[in-house]
């Protein structure tokens, strides 16, 4: 089912992001995680696309497995990095054949290894990828948004301009990069509204279960962790860190839904415990009506 049609129901969405394991011996972890989380009947799940070709074949394999074996509504990630037009066309044709309706179109991060060949083939920017996919069929296309600005963007205003280019080319909704201060999301939403962007903006939430790990993530993507939270977590045991991170994420989610966010997208890191703890505490937040901000009306989207 196309995700844009789910937004039209006027209630908050629930979705999960997974990544294809690089090692076969780790695939059982993802299987177990999916088995635990699918009981929450997510509106969709997404599968990341390996940078530089590292897990791309696995992305398609897991996309189809989650759809056909687990019965989930799946969105496959596609990136500009290392992708030729013919490669994208081949994948899009396969998704059409297999009945996959949703694609997350991303620029992608170039490989960090020094001396790597030029990662940009036929697509340099995500808006070009959106435009190309849109010509290939009636896909629902999601794109990425950055509440604190993309790490390479010269300003928040320029970042919003780039985002509008993606929407103008046909993006149906936006999923944000992770953030830990809801004020970034609300300010981001205000900037997009001023820019004339009206598609839904789904906030991406990553519960902190390991302070060192999340610090590395934020350094790579340009997000920030509140210093007060870091101080509270320093020196805690793994179990207390998990509880603190879960409690913080619960408060984030409750405020986001209360203030009109059209749902919650969880970055699971292929683990289920923290996400389950959050969802058990939140209860049926999808039973509430979503607020008016960035929510499409009938006939839009």
Give CA–CA dist 203/82, Å, rounded. Answer: 27
Own/partner long-range contacts of 244-251 (Cβ < 8 Å, ≥24 apart): 244/208, 245/207, 245/208, 245/209, 245/274, 246/207, 246/274, 246/277, 246/278, 246/281, 248/180, 248/207, 248/208, 249/205, 249/206, 249/207, 249/208, 249/274, 249/278, 250/278, 250/281, 250/282
Q: Which one is catalytic: 5, 17, 32, 234?
A: 17
Determine contact, residues 270/29, Cβ cutoff 8 Å: yes
Q: Which of 43, 18, 22, 44 is nearest to 32 (CA)?
A: 18
Q: Which of 78, 95, 108 is nearest to 138 (CA)?
A: 95
Write the pLDDT tens digit of every residue in 112-150: 654 556 677 789 899 999 999 999 999 999 999 999 999
Residue 173, strand partner residues: 142
pTM of the model: 0.91
Write the pLDDT tens digit of every residue in 225-273: 998 998 999 999 999 999 999 999 999 999 999 999 999 999 999 999 9
List domains and CATH numbers for the chain: 3-283 (3.20.20.220)
Look at residue 114 in the predicted model and tell me its pLDDT. Answer: 45
Look at residue 148 in the predicted model and tell me its pLDDT. Answer: 95
Give CA–CA dist 162/301, Å, rounded. Answer: 19
Known catalytic membership, residue 17: yes
In the predicted model, residues of the chain with pLDDT beneath 70 are: 50-55, 111-118, 288-301
Residue 235 gets the label, from left (phi > 0), alpha (psi -120 to 50) or beta, of left
């Amino acid at each position: 089912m196309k995700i844009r049609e789910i937004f039209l129901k006027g209630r908050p969405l629930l979705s999960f992001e997974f990544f294809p394991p690089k090692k076969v011996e780790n695939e059982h972890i993802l299987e177990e995680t999916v088995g635990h989380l699918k009981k929450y009947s997510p509106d969709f799940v997404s599968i990341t696309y390996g940078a530089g070709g590292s897990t791309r074949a696995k992305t398609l394999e897991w996309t189809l497995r989650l759809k056909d074996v687990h019965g989930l509504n799946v969105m496959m990630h596609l990136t500009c990095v290392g992708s030729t037009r013919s490669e994208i066309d081949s994948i899009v044709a396969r998704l059409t054949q297999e009945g996959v309706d949703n694609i997350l179109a991303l620029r992608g991060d170039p490989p960090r290894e020094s001396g790597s060949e030029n990662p940009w083939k036929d697509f340099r920017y995500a808006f070009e990828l959106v435009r190309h996919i849109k010509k290939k069929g009636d896909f629902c296309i999601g794109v990425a948004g950055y509440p604190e600005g993309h790490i390479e963007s010269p300003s928040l205003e320029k970042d919003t301009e780039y985002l509008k280019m993606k929407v103008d080319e046909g993006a149906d909704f936006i999923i944000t990069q992770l953030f830990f201060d809801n004020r970034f999301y609300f300010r981001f939403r205000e900037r997009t509204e001023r820019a004339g962007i009206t598609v839904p903006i789904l906030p991406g939430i990553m519960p902190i279960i390991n302070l060192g790990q999340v610090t590395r993530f934020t350094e790579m993507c340009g997000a920030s962790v509140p210093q007060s939270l870091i101080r509270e977590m320093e020196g805690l045991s793994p179990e207390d860190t998990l509880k603190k991170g879960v409690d913080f994420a619960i408060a984030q989610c409750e405020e986001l839904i209360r203030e009109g966010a059209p749902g919650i997208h969880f970055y699971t890191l292929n683990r289920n415990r923290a996400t389950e703890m959050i969802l058990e505490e939140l209860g049926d937040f999808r039973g509430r009506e979503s607020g008016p901000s960035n929510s499409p009306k009938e006939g839009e989207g």
